[in-house]
Amino acid sequence: MKQPIKRVNSLQLKDQRSQITKQANEIIELAKKEVRDLTDEEAQKIEDYENQVKELDEELKALQSRLENLRFGDNNEDEDEDNETPSENNEEENKKERSMKKQSFSLVKAIRSIANGQQLDELTAAVIAKGNEEARKAGISTQGQIQLPESRAAVTVATEGEDVVATDLFDILMPLRAKNVLVQAGAKFMGNLVGDVQIPVMTANNVTWKGEVASAADGAGTFSHITLSPHRLTAYVDISKQMLVQDSVDVENAIRTDLINAINTKLEETILGNGDGKEGGTTVVAPLGMRNGVTATSVTGYDKVCEVESNVEDANVLGECVYIMSNKAKAALRGMIKGTNGTGMVYENGSVDGTKAFNTSHLGTAKTYIYGDFSNLAIGSWGGVDITVDPYTQAAAGKVRIVVNAFFDAKKLRDGAFAVGTIAAASN
């Protein structure tokens, strides 16, 4: 008589496999989110998980073989009732098992296929279709051959009959948010926007004192708002054809990092700048710079630094105020003494007299800083990233040009929430 095969064995093995796979994916997703390679410890964990999965797969394979023997061999009608026998439920489990395949979307592969005039595979086409869908919903027109979705919704594609491939696609804008100095300082980043978006701004005029039975003032006329509208940010990256033939994860991450850096550099330079949004033309095509129309306070010593801070505090700003400064401003404040009798420096250990400070080269080369509550800065994005693959412009140099288009806008909710200063001289 054949040995009893408990139904619970199969379920337990599959559950263990699922849990191990989930833990491995969490480690990989964290590394992708932070745009870095796996640490040695993480790599060892992944290897251990892979070995455990292989062992479970062998057990499942052996169990499946025994089930097949039950189905097609000489079954004894008097076998234990707990024996697992063929049934419709087994068929459903088998179908689910076949549907658990998972693959990763490769941006390098998509670019290579388009550059070489090759047809996209089903998985790549499904991802681009998802990106197109998001762009249409956001009300923006795409120009390139590749649209990467902004959302992290699952993307699946049917292949090989009933099999379904789940696509591992990490959001290219997520590491952008983590990298952006404005977001680190507290700016509100709103993604997946659709059309123009109005953000209400409450002012002090909305709050009044009244008698016990007097009617409240109609605040409808005193509410203000700002409107975010999509503006096309475009940048390009040249990639060698030799790099495109690689299938390395490091190459994939390097290209994604280059795209993120290209977008982030232009976005920060524009928002932290003093431009009027017209980019030299007559029509507004970009966000207005935070320093546009603002007169910077000339800071010659510690007392002037405190004065700039008090100007913001007088505007009754409720959020945490921080600094974003140029590298030159950081260097100047590191050499500025706190007060005439002070021994400490204004800038020490990443802060200005205890107030958190961020520095970036995207504020220019002057000794300039912006101080304020950056939660009063709204940054919006529409759709994901639109990529045009140009194999011709740099063909003679053996390169493929990748033109990136993304849609952003940024506006201050309250002008009084920010102050701009320029370090004129260090006080000794």
**Which has the higher per-residue pLDDT, 284 or 212?**
284
For the chain, the structural domain boundaries read 7-100, 107-168, 232-423
Please identify which residue in the block is written with the tokens 């500025």: 336
Please identify which residue in the block is written with the tokens 């990136």: 404
Q: Can you spell out the DSSP letters for 142-181?
A: --SSEEE-SS---EEEEETTTEEEEEE---THHHHHHH-H
Q: Per-residue pLDDT for 174 more than 80?
A: no
**Would you place residue 377 in the very low, low, confident or very high pLDDT band (cuts 50, 70, 90)?**
very high
**Would you place residue 82 in the very low, low, confident or very high pLDDT band (cuts 50, 70, 90)?**
very low
Rounded to an integer, what distance in angstroms lies between the CA atom of residue 140 and that of residue 152? Answer: 19
* Window from 76-85, 178-187, 205-214 with minimum mean pLDDT: 76-85
Q: Per-residue pLDDT for 427 more than 50?
A: no
Give the chain's length.
Answer: 428
Residues 6+ apart with CB under 8 A from 137: 194, 383
Q: Per-residue pLDDT for 104 more than 50?
A: yes
**Would you place residue 407 in the very low, low, confident or very high pLDDT band (cuts 50, 70, 90)?**
very high
pLDDT tens digits, 233-279:
998 889 999 999 887 888 888 888 888 888 999 999 999 999 999 99
Average pLDDT of span 29-46: 74
| Cα angle, residue 214 at apex, residues 210 and 219 outer, rounded to 5° | 65
What pLDDT shows up at residue 6? 44
**Would you place residue 160 in the very low, low, confident or very high pLDDT band (cuts 50, 70, 90)?**
low
**Would you place residue 69 in the very low, low, confident or very high pLDDT band (cuts 50, 70, 90)?**
low
What pLDDT shows up at residue 410? 96
What pLDDT shows up at residue 54? 81
Nearest to 364 by CA among 388, 394, 406, 328: 328
Interhelix angle for 107-115 vs 122-138, to 10°? 100
What pLDDT shows up at residue 288? 94
What pLDDT shows up at residue 221? 44
**Would you place residue 146 in the very low, low, confident or very high pLDDT band (cuts 50, 70, 90)?**
very high
Q: Per-residue pLDDT for 283 more than 90?
A: yes
Q: Per-residue pLDDT for 202 more than 80?
A: no
What pLDDT shows up at residue 127? 86
Answering whether pTM is above 0.85, one says no
pLDDT tens digits, 346-364:
999 999 989 999 999 999 8
SS (H, E, C) 359-411: ECHHHCCCCEEEEECHHHEEEEEEEEEEEEEECCCCHHHCEEEEEEEEEEEEE
Please identify which residue in the block is written with the tokens 């849609």: 407
User: pLDDT > 90: what percent of the chain?
Assistant: 36
CA 207 to each of CA 312, 330, 375, 412: distance values in angstroms, whole numbers, following the listed order:
20, 40, 21, 22
Rounded to an integer, what distance in angstroms lies between the CA atom of residue 39 and that of residue 241? Answer: 29
